[in-house]
Amino acid sequence: MPVNEKYIQDFIEDEYIHIICKSVSGSLLFKSDENRIYFLKKYAAYTSGYLDTYSYILLDNHSHFLVKCINSDDLKSYLSTLNNGSLKSHQKKYLLGKITYSEAVEFQMKDFFIAYAMAFNKENNRSGSLFINPFRRIRINDDAHLQQIVIYIHANVLKHNTRKKFEDYRWSSYLSILSDKATLLKRKEIIDFFETRNNFILQHRTQSQYFYNCEGQLE
């Protein structure tokens, strides 16, 4: 089934975007915690220099990320620091101005999905595609929409009836944002969106159920 074009929006520098990656035919993306850890490590490696991550959740057959695209000058500076021999074809093309910023980010995300799928397939004696292509991405309209998406992502386990509480779910960024441990997440910026840590918690508790009545505009 084709993905609706409204879910395939361009990556634009300095803008927030909601990324949703779903498995083919609802198959499992993860069969163990080790798979989830590997997925997050690969995600961090492939998005470094391209995207800043604000929130995420991993579920059995799909994942959500709220990210901000870095500006084009910073992306070019990052790519220029890499060994020229290690640059991928799409990275070289971007530096030469032969592909757009949006295409550069999309190619990098696709490389991430392919890298994870190859490892997952090898481990599970599986072949073929693992992720639906193209993956969904929806730009964030304003600060209110951004807060919606943060809460929507963290509470997504409620929508899929996998847990009765989202606050203690290990495979989302909710606990990391509230923690003092080192993180690659933009923790301070997320808390600032909600003004205070206490309001971050309060808004999640009071609005998580409400936002699932707005599924059409959120996902």
CATH no. for residue 33? Answer: 3.30.70.1290
Distance from the Cα of residue 132 to its chain's centroid:
15
CA 133/CA 138 separation, integer angstroms: 15
Please write the tens of the pLDDT for every residue from 74-93: 999 999 999 989 999 999 99
Q: Does residue 184 lie in a domain region? A: yes
CA 51/CA 81 separation, integer angstroms: 16
Quick one: which of 29, 68, 51 has its CA closest to 171? 29
Q: Does residue 125 lie in a domain region? A: yes
Quick one: which of 95, 103, 27, 109 has its CA closest to 65? 109
Q: Does residue 167 lie in a domain region? A: yes
Q: Does residue 1 lie in a domain region? A: no
CA 198/CA 75 separation, integer angstroms: 35
Strands 62-69 and 51-58: antiparallel
Return left, alpha or beta for 172; rule: phi > 0 is left, psi -120 to 50 is alpha, else beta. Answer: beta
Question: 165 pLDDT exceeds 90?
Answer: no
Question: 162 pLDDT exceeds 70?
Answer: no
CA 50/CA 38 separation, integer angstroms: 19
Helix (H, G, I), strand (E, B) or coil at 64: strand
Q: Does residue 113 lie in a domain region? A: yes
Confidence of residue 219 (pLDDT cuts 50, 70, 90): very low
Task: Report the chain's mean pLDDT, rounded to a whole number.
Answer: 93
Please write the tens of the pLDDT for every residue from 13-47: 999 999 999 999 999 999 999 999 999 999 999 99
Instruction: Count the domains in the chain.
Output: 1
Please write the tens of the pLDDT for every residue from 195-218: 999 999 999 999 887 765 554 444
Residues of the chain above pLDDT 70, percent: 93
Residue 213: CB atoms within 10 A of its CB come to 8
Q: Could you tell me the residue range of the domain that residue 68 belongs to?
A: 10-218
pLDDT of residue 217: 43
Q: Does residue 115 lie in a domain region? A: yes
Q: Does residue 3 lie in a domain region? A: no
Q: Does residue 5 lie in a domain region? A: no
